[in-house]
Structure 1
Amino acid sequence: MLRSLRGRLVLLLLLLVVAAAATAMLMIGLFHQSAAARVGQAAAENSRACEAIVTAYRQYASGGDRSQLAGDDTDVRKRLVTLVQSALQNRPGVQGGIWQRDVGSVAFAFPTYDGPAARLEPPGGELPRIRDINVSALNAERPASGRYDARSQTLLIAACPLPGPIPHLTAWTMTWTFMFAGRSYLQLMAGQAVLLVTVLLAAALLIHLTMTWSRHVSQIESALNAYDVADLPVLPPTRERELDRIVLALNDAGRRLSAARQRGDELARQMATAERLAAIGRVAAGVAHEIRNPIAAMRLKAESAVAGGPERQPQALQVILGEIERLDTLVRRLLSITEHDTPKREQVEVRSFLQACVAQHVERAAARGVTLACAADAQLARFDPDQLKRALDNLILNALNAAPADSRIEVVAIGRPEALVLSVRDQGAGPPHDIADHLFEPFVTGRPDGTGLGLSIVREVAEAHGGAVRYVITEKGTSFEITLPWLTS
């Protein structure tokens, strides 16, 4: 995956999402820390407000009023309300009052309340909590506080015992701290919004880049696959700077490859022409050489017959007829090379066919002291028996001329999975090295009396059957092999 551009872009997108998530979690964590600090600061401020009421009450009590608080003592209640207002007037968001056991709230004030009407009584919904805190402070005879967390806000209540002539009094204060309000919350929301927009834009850009590059790469790949490698197309620009550099390089390579191919084709045509002319030259030289000798012999005999009179004419005519037969054989061999007759395939029993081919050369082999043998592990095959017999005859004649006395020539047929292999093996030294590369061309021979057409006939017969011919030099001698693809039906 990481080896492709698409995989790397996807990985980059995942890393971006992970980094954004980690940043968002960090921002939320910092916000919660800030909120906790605000709650702590509000709790401290609330406790100080309670102490302020205590201080104001002490001043009030030291003024010499020793009367007990009665239920209808409106004047005392008013003075206590004034006391609480004075203590809380510079403490925004803090409300409080004075509480007495068995009586309840005897004074309440919320001087910083910005509502349409002033609050004169403690909030009814929080009275149970206010009572519990005050009772706790009275029982412990020391300040008490309570914290009540809601989903989006925190309620802070503090209570302080009030020493003085009026028994069982406590001062209490209360404030709310909102989690999702204030500057920190706005900063959090702004940061999260910026982070979200950044991640979405980066994701959209990466997705667009991935899809664009993938589409361009697929188009380039399709265009290249639609043409042969030797004829590359001209690719259109993609408007992507990096990809266009590759496209320009491919187009330039295609132009250079096309020019090189044209030069190669021209050179190939020139080489083919040169080889054809060279082959024609070799054939013409061979034909001229082979024809010149019989013609020279016939001319010599004809001149001798004319000069010698009737007595020498019969002998001269015999020689001339022999040379004409030699020319006729040469012409027939040339025709067998150039006519390219289509093989007339038929079902042939391989062992009997080899025995018939060998039988025609047994007497000549015996005269040279050479043993002829044949073997076949294949039963039936389809080929032209006349053409293949002519090819084997040439190989056997060559083997007889090359094999030393008291040696052995083997004609063998071997059936392989893909083809039938016919081989003629002798114990001779093989053809000269200087003609090895042109051994199967016309008029190439290593013998002074040879025409150089026998092996070229063998090659034509093998290729006409869809096969090939080759020779192999081994430690035991030379082997010429004709390979014929299987045709059994």
Structure 2
Amino acid sequence: MNGPIRRQILIPIVAIQTATIAAITAAGVWLAAARDERRNVERLAAVIDVLDRSTFPLTSQVLGRMHGLSGAHFVVRDAEGRVAAASDEALAAAAPAAVDVPDFRRPEFRSWRQWPTVVAEGRPYYGARLRAPAGATLLVLYPESSWRAALWDVAAAPVGLGLAAVALTAQATRWFAERIGRRVHRLRGQVARIADGDFGEIEPGEGDDEIADLIASVNAMSRQLRDMRRAIAQAERTHLLAQLAAGFAHQLRNTLTGARLGVQLHGKRCGATGRDTSLGVATRQLELAEEQVRGLLTLGRLERRPNRPCDLAGLVRDVAGLLEPTARHARVALDVETPAAPAVADVDEPSVRAAVLNLAWNALEAAGPGGRVGFRMHAGPDTIVIDVGDDGPGPPPELAPAIFDPFVTGKPEGVGLGLALARRVAEAHRGGLAWDRDAGWTRFRLTIPRTNPEEAKTADEPRPDRG
């Protein structure tokens, strides 16, 4: 069946219920009619028995009373066929002759359908003939219209109730079908919007049925598609960012290397006093810049280096040491807590160093003069967590949902690349980068697995037999 779903639901249910109610009503009417017909026939038969056994004269007055009891008309004809008495004088003049009416036989006349039919005054009657005293004949005439009227009286109530039940059923089914149709229409609209790229959700409504489950599933699909679109857009932006950063880094690497070699050559030629550490600081800063450039090149895939075991605890202490002159100049206190034992993980050291350094630079700038920056590390059996926090005011609330997106920054002179690159490093190592604000501190947690899942999978694969 084609057409709207409400029609597909409404028509079959109403048809089945109508047929069922019609069958029940017909059965009830038939039983009630049969019972009423049997009662009327038996009542008339009882009147006939009284008249048949009577010894009183059958006058018009007596026949009129019998008509009131049974609803039948009575006509008495004498031996010569003349009307001697009648319950209805007008009908007596048009009554058929006695010879035209069959004799009354009780065992056979149990139903009006078993009574013979005669016509008087153009109307049909159920008729029978009995013998009366003095050779007279008693004609019994029961109007067929009375039986039909009695049949309608019996059937009116069941038929009315049946029609009312059909109407109520149709109305209830229509309401139910339209309710389902509206929900399906809303769901169809949502699917159409999803096809157009709008991944909004709709309210499941108050129902707790299969359609509500379907709406919940479509809403879940909308959320997944929305997340996938956001992830794809983020991946495209991050890829573009990495390419741009790697392009700039490729140009800067040679310049930084030349500057570092020039400072080192100057230190060898000119020497430095014991208390003058400026050339050493400059050299370390240039080396730090070179490491950042190498990390950017790794992100941009312009340099590919395999992961190697690296002591991340030592890496954190090294980054803190590189930042110490800058922190002292900015009047920011550095707190470093790392395990005494090495925290080794298989990583690309330059990119991880660049990520930690970006987090530390952000923390230094956010803490401001008189602030504090803390480095914490938790080395678990499977992962290592590097926590970089500051007691600054924290990022603006409106930036919180997109804080890791490229070019998103709350600093007037910021570019918005540090956190995006740090997250790229975490994702490249199958780890993660998260942040929170608690007790006046803003903390960024870089999680790095100890073993790269891809390398572990490769190591577990069976090698061919070189026999």
Query: Which range, TM-score by smaller chain?
Result: 0.3 to 0.5
TM-score (norm: length of structure 2): 0.42
Structure of higher CA gyration radius: 1
TM-score normalised over the length of structure 1: 0.40
